[in-house]
């Protein structure tokens, strides 16, 4: 199971990284989103994996580590706020620079 999880994290981070290196705002947004997914999973597994051990008192004899879950929840929220801001910033860029290049249309290599 850990292998699958590691692979998932690797894939998410990897594809996220690739997308953040693109030249247009939209793929960069996607990249940041994927990256944060991967990172959230990473933080989540820092409490190790456990199946059917919901961290609710009385619901499981050996509950999973609740702290990383709380951290990830916070991280998800913050990540959401950041993504939202980035999206709107991209729109702003489109509005002010009439261009969705991350360098505001400077003719850098795109992609």
Partner 1 sequence: MEHLIIAPILIPAFAGMLLLLEVRERQHLRRLTGLLATLALIPVALGLWHQAATGEIDVYQLGDWRAPFGIVLVLDRLSALMVLLTAVLALPALIYGSRGDDRRGANFHALFQMQLMGINGAFLTGDLFNLFVFFEVLLIASYGLALHGRGPARVKGGIHYVVLNLIGSALFLVALGLAYGTTGTLNMADFAVKVNELEGNSLDLARLSGLLMWVVFGLKAALFPLYFWLPATYASATAPVAALFAIMTKVGIYAIARVYGLAFSGGALAGLGRDPLWIIALVTLGLAAVGVLGARRLGEMVAYLLVMSVGTLVAGLSWSSPEALGAMLYYLIHSTLVCGGLFLLADLVARGRGELGDRLEVGPAPIGRGLLGALFFAGAIAVVGLPPLSGFVGKVALMQAVPAPVYWLLLLGGGLIALIGLSRAGSSLFWRATGDGETHSLDGPRLAATVALLATTPALAIWGEPVLEACLAVAAQWAQPSLYIDAVLGAGGSAL
Partner 2 sequence: MNLSILVLLPFLGAALPPLAERFKASRTLLALSAAALPALALGLMVAPGRRVIDGETVLSSVQWLPSLGLDLAFRLDGLALLFAMLVLGIGLLIILYARYYLSADEKAGRFYAYLLLFMGAMLGVVTSDNLLLLVVFWELTSLSSFLLIGFWSHNSVARKGARMALTVTGMGGLALLAGVLLIGQVVGSYSLGEALASGDAIRASGLYPLILCLVLLGIFTKSAQFPFHFWLPHAMAAPTPVSAYLHSATMVKAGVFLLARFYPMLAGTNLWFDLVTLAGMATLIWGALAALFQNDLKGLLAYSTISHLGLITLLFGLNTELAAVAAVFHIINHATFKASLFMAAGIIDHETGTRDMRRINGLWRYMPYTAVLAMVASAAMAGVPLLNGFLSKEMFFAETLQSDRLGAMSWVLPLGATLGGVLSVAYSARFIHDVFFNGEPVNLPKFPPHEPPRYMKVPVEILVALCIAVGVFPSLTVAGLLAVAGTATLGGTLPEYHLSIWHGFNVPLLMSVIALVGGVLVYSQRRRLLQWHARLPEINANLIFERAMQALARFAGAFSGVLRNGSLQTYVAWLLAVVALVLLSQVRPHLLNGERPLLPLDGVAVLAGAMLMVAAVITAILHRHRMTAIMSISVVGLVMSLVFVRFSAPDLALTQLSVEVVTVMLLILAMYFLPVRTSPESGALRVSRDLILSVVVGGGVGVMAFAMMTSDFTSISGFFLENAKPGGGGTNVVNVILVDFRGFDTFGEITVLGIAAMGIYALLKDLELTSPRSDATGRPWARDAHPLVLVTISRPLLPLALLVSVYIFLRGHNLPGGGFIAGLITSVALLLQYVASGVGWMRYRMPGDYHPVVALGLLLAGVTGVASWFFGHPFLTSTFDHIHWPLVGDFELASAMLFDAGVFLTVVGATLLMLANLGKLSLLDDKGGNAGQIGDVGERGDA
Residue 61 binding target from partner 2, partner 1, none, CB below 5 to 8 Å by type: none
Contact 84, 76 (CB under 8 A): no
CA distance 74 to 82: 12
The verdict on 19 binding partner 1 (CB under 8 A) reads no
Q: Which among 40, 30, 33 has a CA at the least distance from the CA of 8?
A: 40
Specify the residue for token string 């801001």.
Answer: 85
Binding to partner 2 (CB under 8 A): which residues in 39-68?
A: 40-42, 44-60, 63-67
Distances (CA, A) of 21 to 7, 28, 31, 50: 21, 7, 8, 35
What is the nearest approach in angstroms of partner 1 to the Cβ of residue 51?
19
SS3 101: strand
**Counting contacts by CB under 8 A, is residue 47 touching partner 1?**
yes
Q: Which of 10, 49, 73, 81 touches partner 1 by CB under 8 A?
A: 81
Is residue 91 a contact residue for partner 2 (CB under 8 A)? yes
Is 97 a binding residue for partner 1 by CB under 8 A? The answer is yes
CB-CB contact of 100 with 94 (8 Å): yes
Binding site for partner 1 (CB under 8 A): 16, 20, 25, 28, 32, 35-36, 39-40, 42-43, 45-47, 67-68, 71, 74-75, 78, 81-82, 85-86, 89-90, 92-93, 96-97, 102-104
């Amino acid at each position: 199971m850990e292998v699958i999880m590691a692979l998932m994290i690797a894939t998410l981070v990897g594809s996220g990284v690739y997308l953040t290196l693109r030249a247009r705002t939209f793929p960069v947004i996607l990249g940041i989103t994927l990256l944060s997914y991967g990172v959230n999973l990473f933080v989540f597994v820092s409490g190790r994996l456990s199946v059917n051990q919901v961290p609710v008192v009385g619901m499981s004899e050996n509950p999973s580590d609740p702290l990383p879950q709380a951290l990830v929840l916070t991280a998800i929220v913050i990540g959401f706020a950041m993504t939202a801001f980035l999206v709107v910033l991209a729109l702003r860029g489109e509005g002010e620079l009439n261009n969705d290049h991350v360098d505001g249309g400077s003719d850098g290599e795109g992609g």
